[in-house]
Amino acid sequence: MTALRYRGRFAPSPTGALHFGSLVAAVGSWLVARHHEGEWLVRVEDIDPPREVPGSAASILSTLDAFGLAPDAPPVYQSQRDALYAQAFERLRDGGHLFPCWCSRAELGAHGGLHRDGRCIAAPDPSRPPAWRLRSPDRVVAWRDDLQGPQAENLRDVAGDFVIRRVEGLWSYQLACVVDDGEQGITHVVRGADLLDSTARQIALQGLLGLPTPGYLHLPLVVDAEGRKLSKSTAALPVDPADPLPALREALAWLGVDGPQPATSPGALLRSALERFAPATLRRSSLTTGTTL
């Protein structure tokens, strides 16, 4: 029996230009995939029009290109995959795993912000569309993260009955991500540790949809000198596609890999970093930096 070939991905949301924290996730997922002689794909997660910044998908893709991070297939766009999400939604609904919910934020606030009843707390209001939530199972989801080690989460206690389709009719990140990772045959997910707490929800959804669970590796978040997540700090500046080498060197250093100082192109720097790279050398926890990125 042959093992499935490694297939990884980088899945940016087009909410702005590529910043240093996302570059670290992109380079990290690329390095691990290439180390395993695997494929590396890019998926544009543009399913949230209110949060989307016009032009940022194109800007992220051209910046990845300028940094020598070329995917093995043309990028897919979640905005074009509605039929796949609708199919998964129907499967979950027909299986009795979803319920419509008209609860307001205030009603949820009275329950600690979490919905855990497996049915709507508010009175149904046929005059407006509901959100659809998953009846969260009262069980512990356990998995082993390739970098962060063993993890366990009681889904109902931690995430509650989470949203699958929003009131506006938009698909949730959890649903779209699980459907796409499954449909694209992703065998390993490497991403930032801010998504570690989405993993239990995604594993539960994979089980309900009959999809395989990929391996997971969550990279430590890049934080600033005050310990704030980079994307929330002033250091969340876009990286410069016209001058990729300094930011690429810095991203590699963050990941615990050095490239040769005199490299003249991002491609050469990445190739030499790959020769020195082993997943075991990845940093496990966040460092803080006061440097200007």
* Interface positions with ligand GLU (CB under 6 A): 11-13, 45, 177, 191, 195
User: CB of 166: closest distance to ligand GLU in angstroms?
Assistant: 16
User: Tokens in use for 201?
Assistant: 């929800």
Q: Give the span between the Cα atoms of 284 and 218, in whole angstroms.
A: 9
Minimum CB separation of residue 177 from ligand GLU in Å reads 5
**Closer residue to ligand GLU (CB): 69 or 195:** 195
Give whichever of 76 and 269 is closer to ligand GLU, judged by the CB atom: 76
Minimum CB separation of residue 121 from ligand GLU in Å reads 29
Closer residue to ligand GLU (CB): 57 or 177: 177
Contact yes or no for 212/182 (Cβ under 8 A): yes
C-beta separation of 259 from 274 below 8 A: no
CA atoms within 13 A on the CB side of 18: 29
In the bound state with ligand GLU, the residue whose beta carbon lies nearer, of 51 and 139, is 51
Closer CB to ligand GLU, 32 or 177, in the complex: 177
Provide the minimum distance between the beta carbon of 37 and ligand GLU in the complex, in angstroms, as a whole number. 22
What whole-number distance in Å separates Cα of residue 67 and Cα of residue 270?
9
Q: Of 11 and 247, which has the nearer Cβ to ligand GLU?
A: 11
Measured from the CB atom, the residue of 21 and 266 that comes closer to ligand GLU is 21
Least distance in Å: CB of 190 to ligand GLU? 8
Q: Rounded to the nearest whole angstrom, what is the least distance from the CB of residue 66 to ligand GLU in the complex?
A: 19
- Closest approach, Cβ 234 to ligand GLU, in A, equals 19
